[in-house]
Structure 1
Amino acid sequence: MARDGKEERERDAVVLPLASASHRLHGAVARELGIAILSGRTPPGTVLPGEIAASEGLAVSRTAYREAVRTLSAKGLVESRPKAGTRVSERGRWNLLDPDVLAWAFETEPGEAFIRDLFELRQIVEPAAAELAALRRSDRHLDRMAQALDGMARHGLAVPAGRAADQAFHHAILEATGNAPLIALSSSIAASVTWTTIYKQRRRALPRDPLPEHRALFEAVAAGEGPLARARMAELIRLALADTELSMLS
């Protein structure tokens, strides 16, 4: 038994790195194709090259290309049909809230309309979530929010660690609602927060410190003040949009 266990570990040591490398490769191909679609270089209705030609053009294996197309299909960006090939889907079919799709959109020039749409979505979802969180939060949720605020204060939003803390704060708010569909939106909301924060800093430093609004929101949630938490989340998002609008003008 010991020998079999050793052989299994040795086999995994070989297989797992190879699997990881393969995953990174088809992920990189999916990203390249996804950015081309999101940027408009490969518009809806375009039929992608066949598997052989595409894999040769990208200098990857057919397997890596095939997996990349499956990834894009799962995100609604393309659809494959027998004999018709793989075609870029209409924009209405794209899963724009998928964290990868959001990332690819912001690696291009996402457009003011799309950015405003994201903030509009946040204004619909997050204030109501904050009100629920104030009524339902546990000490565990409050601890996570407090730790996230400490991380934001320590690192600032100009660096990845600070933005990760900001993500954690918004995730904790949604998690505290106890509402499963709202919690399912957490990764999308967090990605929206991160990418718009990066966008705001693309040409200039952040115009103000957003930490006070986050702390005020935390205090309302901790005090169980639902309507106040709603109002403070709405104000936080309004100010974030105002900061982003300054970036649009620069």
Structure 2
Amino acid sequence: MGKAERIHQAIARSLGTAILSGRYRPGDSFEGEIEQSLALGVSRTPYREAIRILVAKGLLESRPRAGTHVTPRARWNLLDPDVLAWTFSGEPDVNFVRGLFELRGIIEPAAASLAARRRTEEQVEAMRQSLAAMERYGLSTEDGRTADQQFHRSILEATHNPALASLASSVGAAVDWTTRYKQRHQLLPRDPLPEHLAVFAAIEASDADRAHGEMDELLRLAFEDTVATLP
């Protein structure tokens, strides 16, 4: 069962990456599952499961008698953590990266402002520990990137707004993959820890306006760093 899971996830990743990179375009038809599974050297079951994953993420639609087609880009769930991972496995389009940071710029400064007003001492301590781990491990390591994601997640949770907190996985994935991308293309990328510390200091001080401004600055610099690494 575990092996079958790995197979269908690998197929979904391969096909999803091909769609996102433009190898398959909206409206393109996939051959029947028998032909595709034979071409991939797998049984029909994992191929069928992979297609279901891509349908759930909005990349494909499958209809009786009409077959399976790539959907228009507007229907793609671009904030799905897997879709973000597949996008950044290649060379993402600068407009996509800009759009991602514009979305974060709408959500995270406002969230930091709310967190400054509503955070608990336990949440402040969780942020402090995340920053300590970021400093200890660095963002070139898995542990450091996990700590970075947890810091941003803690801010969303500290808003005590369930709708905002539900965005934690998407925001965390965006943080993770843009950081991985920068690390992949820059041997010595700029250290973003000072901006994170500034956001934390404002939240800890319950200064909502400053928290908003510091998060805005953090995202501005992160966007500049990411764009500088794009081809």
TM-score (norm 2): 0.97
**Are the aligned partners of 2:91 and 2:230 in contact in 1 as well (CA < 8 Å)?**
no
User: Which amino acid in the other structure matches residue 150 of structure 2?
Assistant: A
1:236 is matched with 218
Which residue of structure 2 lines up, in the alignment, with residue 35 of structure 1? 17
Aligned equivalents of 1:160, 1:49: Cα separation in 2: 38
**Quick one: distance in 1 between partners of 2:54 and 2:21?**
15
1:246 aligns with 2:218: no
Would you identify which runs of 4 or more consecutive aligned residues in structure 1 move more than 3 Å? Answer: none
| 1:34 maps to amino acid | G
Match of 2:119 in 1: 137
Q: Root-mean-square deviation (CA), in Å? A: 1.1
Corresponding residue number in structure 1 for 2:175:
193
1:208 alignment counterpart: 190
Query: Partners of 2:187 and 2:153 in 1: how far apart?
Result: 25
1:185-206 Cα shifts (integer Å, max 9, x gaps): 1111111111111122222234
- Displacement, 1:243? 1.2
Deviations 1:195-220 (A, max 9, x none): 11112222223432111111111111
SS in 1 for 2:227: helix
Q: Does 1:184 align with 2:166?
A: yes
Q: Distance in 2 between matches of 1:154 and 1:181?
A: 32
Which letter maps to 2:3? A
Could you tell me how far apart the structure 1 residues matched to 2:106 and 2:217 are? 13
Q: What TM-score do the two structures reach when normalised by structure 1?
A: 0.90
Cα offset, 1:140, TM superposition: 1.9
The gaps in structure 1 that reach 5 residues or longer are 1-18
Counting matched residue pairs gives 231
Take 2:83 and 2:188, find their aligned partners in 1: how far apart are those partners? Answer: 25
Contact 2:78 2:84 in 1 (8 A): yes
Partner of 1:125: 107
> How much does 1:20 deviate?
2.0
The amino acid of 1:146's aligned partner reads: R
Sequence identity percentage: 57
SS in 2 for 1:86: strand
Give the secondary-structure state (helix, strand or coil) at the position aligned to 2:68.
Answer: strand
Higher radius of gyration, 1 or 2: 1
